Structure 1
Amino acid sequence: MRTLWSDREFVKLWLARLISTAGSAVSGVALPVLMYSLTGSALYTGALAALTAAPYLVFGLLAGALVDRMHRRTVMVVTDLASAVLLASVPVAGAFDALTPLHLLVVAGGVASVTVWFDAANFGAVPALVGSGNLVRANSAIWSASTAVYIAAPSAAGVLIAVIGPAGTMSLDAVSFAASAALVRMIQRPLNEAREPRISLKADIREGLEFLWREPTVRLFTALGIGQAIAGGAVSGLLVVYAFRVFAVPQNDARIGVLFSALAVGSFAAAVVMPRISDVCSPRLVTTIGLSAGVGVMGVLIGVHQWWTAVISTALWGLTSTIVIVNGITVRQLVTPDRLQGRVNLVGRMVTFGVGQPIGALAGGVLADELSVRSALVITSSPLVLAAVIGWSQMDKRSSRELGHGLK
């Protein structure tokens, strides 16, 4: 860790992610509150969560193949600036009393779309910058710092929303993306390794798809991630509605941010313990236990009737879900050659986050409006149960010891 933190180029990337995450944590509370205040609809609020993931399905194959041909630093800077412009349009429209639900959906979808391209570059930039020996610790450092921000920022967002309103609060996110672009631009070390020249874009896409399908460990982790993503999409899409309807929390109440902070506390704990867990458990076991624990946590989240137990359950969901997500990303990065990083990681992200998250978020919104929030969570957690069962059924098959050694 001393070597990692003495690397100024990594610190620049770490700071860029930290600052942009702080802004996103604020708008992550402000945007659904703003949408719900405009519409009073769980479906519209769930649609915001769906739009944060759907662009992976639309752009995943193309972005992964093209970014593997491009300078990753340039892609990251341009996409950060594009996000800043999109987010700045919300407070501007709010100032002229011209904000509509459609505008919010367009902004959410637009930011998520450019984030697909950022992620395609970032997935390959981290291992290229730090090397495989420091990859687990680098990912944990980025995730733990980001989730630490999510602990404080949502509560601060609740206060800011009460003082300056949700539209004004989102201006902070625009500033954070501009600062992130400046920091990434300052990284001096190359974020690409030497690669063979590419001729056919179609062949590049096919190569990435074939690698993900033929590599058994990556294929399994991707399949298990779909169940996690569907349940996660429902939780993220219904968190504000859960507070409003189940616990009668008033709109613009600072307690809204507490649930988001609790989610971040769990995610922070997961990022901190991940390097230690990977030293003693195979990646397959880590994911399987994480999925199984998530099933139990979802049951508690559905059944609680007191606010403090809901907060604790939300934190535990952040813990189990983040372990599964970070472990899956790290495995893909370790197994995938540098020339395929963008394609394979974006396809994996597309199949899990891009398919599962929108399904869970939209299904959760529809079911919450037609039935209840608790019923919606029960139904959308069934794919998580299936994923846990599949994970345990695969434990006696091909060993993942080689990956376990790679993660140490």
Structure 2
Amino acid sequence: MFRHPDHRLLLISVASSQVALQIAYFSVSIIAVVVLKLGEAQIGILNAMDQIALVVFGLLAGAWVDRVRRKPVIVVSETIRALLMLSVPVAWMFDALSLWHMYAVMFLLGLASVFFDVAQASYVPMLIDNDRLTGANSRIQGIRSASDTGGPLAAGPLVSLLTAPISVAVAVAGFAVSAFSFSRIRFQEADPVRPEKPNLRAEIAQGVKFILKDPIIRTVAFSSAWCNLSVGAFQAMLVVFLIRDTGQTSAVVGLILAGSGVGGVLGAMLVGKISAKAGMGPTALVALAVSGPGMAVVAMSGPGWGAVCAFLGQVVYIAAIVMFNVNVVSYRQAVTPDPIQGRVNATQRVITWGSMAVGSILGGFAGEAIGARYVLFIAAGMLFAGCLVLLKTPIRTLRDLPEEGTGLSDAFAGPDPHPPETPEGKHRAD
């Protein structure tokens, strides 16, 4: 994958975008806890704002992305994210930084990310052949995870040296590099086939129907929604717990959060080898079962050297989640026809990430009532329970990826007389 120029540019874009996003999110968390001194409930709502944008606009974004070429959407989305983050240090310098400004930034950042994520997830299976898709996804996830390490590691000292509002400006450069790199990809997408009589409701329904018809995608979607309810609560209270309950500094918190990147790299490295021996489905199931205990280890950490415990818990928790995600995302991309990739990806995100927004809000209110540490323990138990739903589904016996676009007939079964056609001679970079 690293030998092809387009693939290298894709990976550079992924890495720089993810580092920028991690610095942005870390800095926003520090601004909320230290600069604005928000309460737990306010922090929970702030963490939910970007996911609320997904719930409100996700299905519309999926239908719209399927009508246009994906590359311009990705470049424009990255540019908007850069401008949004630039507004934070500017507002701070003019003493205009407020809770409502941060709410607006996070909501609009989430809106831009909806289009970016849906378009990128739909673009990758066009760029890369099916027989290389799992390997490509594991490499992409590995790059993202390495970036997840670099982002918090860089953000911690940046916050200490420059203050949190100024450190956000560093994220602007990352988004700009990502936009430029993606714009240099030479792969030419085929123009999407558009229905003669566009019907937005019917187009959205096709994405929903596709997910509901496939037993593996359907069960994974609802299991992931339950798991993301716990992940939302965990993420909302993690920085609060580390700073207020254990007394860790911003630099140490950055180091602990970097454990997610280390775990992501580890998971991306192991998923291919383990899946080849044990099968894709069983690997995903076991990985999801391990993620909850890893989260619980973080909740057991304390002050001082307890940071090591929190770091190791992050490594285990994220490594397991990455292994689960690589396999289930590869399956979904493989069986989904290109004409509806955007709608299927958007529907999946609305189902699973929408629950993360609910989890963030509930976690914030629960944190005020019972404390951040107890919220983390409850989230860990909920995450472990998520794997139980999948035990009696076909994912138990799934060993390899099915044929490309095998869900096409199911996706368009029904009254719609004009389903989108699969473009002939689909161009891919080898």
Task: Give the TM-score, by structure 2 length.
Answer: 0.88
Q: Report the Cα distance in structure 2 between the residues aligned to 1:322 and 1:44, rounded to whole angstroms.
A: 29
Q: Write the deviation string for residues 329-350 of structure 1: whole angstroms up to 9, x where unpaired.
A: 2221111111111101110111
Q: Write the deviation string for residues 68-119 of structure 1: whole angstroms up to 9, x where unpaired.
A: 0101011111111111111110011111111001111111111111110111
Q: Write the deviation string for residues 361-390 of structure 1: whole angstroms up to 9, x where unpaired.
A: 111111111111122123334432332221
- CA RMSD, aligned part only? 2.0
Contact 2:216 2:393 in 1 (8 A): no
Q: Report the Cα distance in structure 2 between the residues aligned to 1:122 and 1:171, rounded to whole angstroms.
A: 24
* Structure holding more helix per residue: 1
Q: Which amino acid aligns with 1:61?
A: L
- Equivalent residue number for residue 253 of structure 2: 256
Q: Report the Cα distance in structure 2 between the residues aligned to 1:402 and 1:276, rounded to whole angstroms.
A: 13
Alignment of 1:285-324 (within 5 A): 285-305=282-302, 306-324=306-324
Q: Report the Cα distance in structure 2 between the residues aligned to 1:114 and 1:384, rounded to whole angstroms.
A: 28
Query: Is the partner of 2:185 in helix, strand or coil?
Result: coil
Match of 2:86 among 88, 95, 102: 88
- Equivalent residue number for residue 335 of structure 1: 335
Q: Which amino acid aligns with 1:301?
A: V
- Equivalent residue number for residue 199 of structure 2: 200
**Count of matched residue pairs:** 399
Q: Report the Cα distance in structure 2 between the residues aligned to 1:401 and 1:314, rounded to whole angstroms.
A: 28
- Using the TM superposition, give the Cα deviation of residue 402 of structure 1 relative to its aligned residue in structure 2, in angstroms: 5.3
- Using the TM superposition, give the Cα deviation of residue 226 of structure 1 relative to its aligned residue in structure 2, in angstroms: 1.3
- Equivalent residue number for residue 211 of structure 2: 212
Match of 1:51 among 45, 49, 52: 49
Alignment of 1:352-363 (within 5 A): 352-353=352-353, 355-363=354-362
1:78 aligns with 2:57: no
- Equivalent residue number for residue 133 of structure 2: 135
Q: Report the Cα distance in structure 2 between the residues aligned to 1:363 and 1:320, rounded to whole angstroms.
A: 24
1:229 aligns with 2:212: no
Query: Is the partner of 1:403 in helix, strand or coil?
Result: coil
- Using the TM superposition, give the Cα deviation of residue 32 of structure 1 relative to its aligned residue in structure 2, in angstroms: 0.5
Q: Percent identity?
A: 27
Contact 1:20 1:176 in 2 (8 A): yes
- Equivalent residue number for residue 176 of structure 1: 174
Q: Report the Cα distance in structure 2 between the residues aligned to 1:191 and 1:333, rounded to whole angstroms.
A: 17
- Equivalent residue number for residue 326 of structure 1: 326
- Equivalent residue number for residue 149 of structure 2: 151
Contact 2:145 2:265 in 1 (8 A): yes
- Using the TM superposition, give the Cα deviation of residue 405 of structure 1 relative to its aligned residue in structure 2, in angstroms: 8.5
Match of 1:28 among 5, 19, 25: 25
Q: Which amino acid aligns with 2:19?
A: A
Query: Is the partner of 1:393 in helix, strand or coil?
Result: coil
Q: Report the Cα distance in structure 2 between the residues aligned to 1:339 and 1:21, rounded to whole angstroms.
A: 27
Contact 1:281 1:404 in 2 (8 A): no
Contact 1:279 1:404 in 2 (8 A): no
Q: Write the deviation string for residues 201-251 of structure 1: whole angstroms up to 9, x where unpaired.
A: 22211111111111111111111211221121122212211111331124x
Q: Report the Cα distance in structure 2 between the residues aligned to 1:321 and 1:231, rounded to whole angstroms.
A: 13
Contact 1:329 1:345 in 2 (8 A): no
Contact 2:259 2:314 in 1 (8 A): yes
Q: Report the Cα distance in structure 1 between the residues aligned to 2:217 and 2:179, rounded to whole angstroms.
A: 31
1:379 aligns with 2:378: yes
Q: Report the Cα distance in structure 1 between the residues aligned to 2:134 and 2:191, rounded to whole angstroms.
A: 19
Query: Is the partner of 1:106 in helix, strand or coil?
Result: helix
- Using the TM superposition, give the Cα deviation of residue 192 of structure 1 relative to its aligned residue in structure 2, in angstroms: 4.6
Query: Is the partner of 1:224 in helix, strand or coil?
Result: helix
Q: Write the deviation string for residues 279-331 of structure 1: whole angstroms up to 9, x where unpaired.
A: 22333322221221122223333334433212211221111222223322222
Do the aligned partners of residues 405 and 302 (structure 1) sit closer, same or farther apart at CA in structure 2, a change above 3 Å counting?
farther
- Using the TM superposition, give the Cα deviation of residue 196 of structure 1 relative to its aligned residue in structure 2, in angstroms: 5.8
Q: Report the Cα distance in structure 2 between the residues aligned to 1:314 and 1:390, rounded to whole angstroms.
A: 24
- Equivalent residue number for residue 351 of structure 1: 351
Q: Report the Cα distance in structure 1 between the residues aligned to 2:181 and 2:83, rounded to whole angstroms.
A: 17
Q: Report the Cα distance in structure 2 between the residues aligned to 1:19 and 1:316, rounded to whole angstroms.
A: 24
Q: Which runs of 5+ in 1 are unaligned?
A: none
Q: Report the Cα distance in structure 1 between the residues aligned to 2:378 and 2:396, rounded to whole angstroms.
A: 32
Query: Is the partner of 2:163 in helix, strand or coil?
Result: helix
Q: Report the Cα distance in structure 2 between the residues aligned to 1:72 and 1:322, rounded to whole angstroms.
A: 25
- Equivalent residue number for residue 414 of structure 2: none
Contact 1:267 1:319 in 2 (8 A): yes
Q: Report the Cα distance in structure 2 between the residues aligned to 1:399 and 1:147, rounded to whole angstroms.
A: 28
Q: Report the Cα distance in structure 1 between the residues aligned to 2:281 and 2:53, rounded to whole angstroms.
A: 28
Query: Is the partner of 1:297 in helix, strand or coil?
Result: helix
Contact 1:148 1:268 in 2 (8 A): yes
Contact 2:285 2:396 in 1 (8 A): no
- Equivalent residue number for residue 120 of structure 1: 118
- Using the TM superposition, give the Cα deviation of residue 404 of structure 1 relative to its aligned residue in structure 2, in angstroms: 7.0
Alignment of 1:254-293 (within 5 A): 254-293=251-290
Contact 2:9 2:185 in 1 (8 A): yes
Q: Which amino acid aligns with 2:102?
A: L
Query: Is the partner of 2:391 in helix, strand or coil?
Result: helix
- Equivalent residue number for residue 417 of structure 2: none
Q: Which amino acid aligns with 2:240?
A: V
